[in-house]
Chain A
């Protein structure tokens, strides 16, 4: 318990997995989950660094990330719902035109 490097490495791995998920998955909800995964990876790094530096600012930042993520998820899922309602599909590839 004297090094945060493993935490950071775990964080980068999670972040990478999340980004690959965003790139490869077509289901908008899953894409969203992968985004959440990436956010969580960042949170982990923040909290780990907070411990590294011995102050609470990192935890506050992580807290803000969670709050903003919550707002983001609410709006994002509402958008996904709207898209799904109009075209019966939650695939991000289907929404490839600016109109219609």
Chain B
């Protein structure tokens, strides 16, 4: 019972959080808390199989699916808190409160008698007992759920499937189109510059620098640019001076060791090339 009293406030708070959090991701994570806590409660209720299934299926599969879809829809989007349907929120909360109160009252009315406990039922092992029931009394329902799962999988595929409207563009056709675009609009023919040419900042949100020191706009994803989370490359380049100074200091202290010379050579190479076009442009991955 200790587990229950410890977990139940946690569960209620997390559940409230699921409802109250503005960001869906936070809701999902709090839901994971609820579910895992519930799994533990199942364990205290002598249902080890359900404990496992709760964690594997719910927390592992279903919640991950939620998160996956959230990523697709937009993980950062926060819901507006303005209620659009007049009276909906007030009535909902009122209705919820009345319903909860009534349910609790109803439960309190019942005298459940003494608890039988799972001692007898789980005598041959919880999983064995469940399997016994599943494959005997509930075999028809079991088969029906199997059919349901297959149907659901097929349905999900059908729903998520997007019909291709025209034929896929072949390599030859793509090459011809690009040449045509270069001839008419002067659009860059080769692959786009890859972001982050600096060894310390090759993250996707850091643009490459053009020879004149300005960031190459094409080198970061349009989505990141739209979200405004692109870092300023020249600003990042500032600390190169410090690094060089540090390196110079090191060189001055330690004299010429091979390793150090290699390092300095690498560093020096980097230092001398802040304005040059990044050499990584030959990499085909920058293509969109």
- Seen from chain A, the residues whose Cβ lies within 8 Å of a Cβ on chain B are 1-10, 12-21, 23-27, 29-30, 32-34, 36-37, 40, 43-44, 47-48, 50-57, 59-60, 62-64, 66-75, 77-82, 84-85, 90, 93
CB distance from A77 to the nearest CB of B (A): 5
A52 to B118, CA, bound (A): 8
Given contacts A3-B115, A20-B96, A56-B129, contact A33 B15 (CB under 8 A): no
Q: How far is the CB of A64 from chain B (nearest CB, A)?
A: 6
**Which residue of chain B has the shortest Cβ distance to A67 in the bound complex?**
B145
Interface contact B104-A12, CB-CB below 8 Å: yes
User: Is the Cβ of B42 less than 8 Å from the Cβ of A33?
Assistant: no
> B197 in the interface, Cβ–Cβ < 8 Å?
no
A64 touches B141 (CB 8 A): yes
Q: Do B57 and A66 have beta carbons less than 8 Å apart?
A: yes
| B27 CB → nearest A CB, Å | 5
Nearest 8 A/B pairs, CB to CB = A54-B116, A16-B100, A23-B92, A71-B152, A20-B96, A78-B159, A21-B19, A12-B103
- Stretch of B28-36, B169-177, B256-264 contacting A (4+ beta carbons < 8 Å): B28-36
Cα distance, A57 to B152, chains bound together (Å): 25
Query: Which residues of chain B have a CB within 8 Å of any CB of chain A?
Result: 1, 4, 8, 11-12, 15-16, 18-19, 24, 27-28, 31, 34-35, 38, 41-42, 45-47, 49-50, 53-54, 57-58, 61-62, 65-66, 69-70, 72-73, 79-80, 83-85, 88-89, 92-93, 95-97, 99-100, 103-104, 107-108, 112, 114-122, 126, 129-130, 133-134, 138, 141, 145, 148-149, 151-153, 155-157, 159-160, 162
Contact in complex: B93, A24 (CB < 8 Å): yes
- For the complex, what is the distance from the CA of A75 to the CA of B129, rounded to whole Å? 31
* Residues in chain A near residue B129, CB distance under 8 A: 56
* Contact B118–A81 (Cβ < 8 Å): no
Residue contact A70 to B19, C-beta cutoff 8 Å:
no
Contacts of B162 in A (CB 8 A): 85
Within the complex, which residue of B19, B70, B108, B118 is in contact with A25, where a contact is CB–CB below 8 Å? B19
The interface residues of chain B lying within 8 Å CB-to-CB of A68 are 145, 148
Q: Is the CB of A17 within 8 A of B12?
A: yes
Q: Which residues of B contact A72 (CB under 8 A)?
A: 152
Closest chain A residue, CB of each to CB of B150: A71
Given A51-B115, A67-B145: A16 and B152 interface contact (C-beta under 8 Å): no
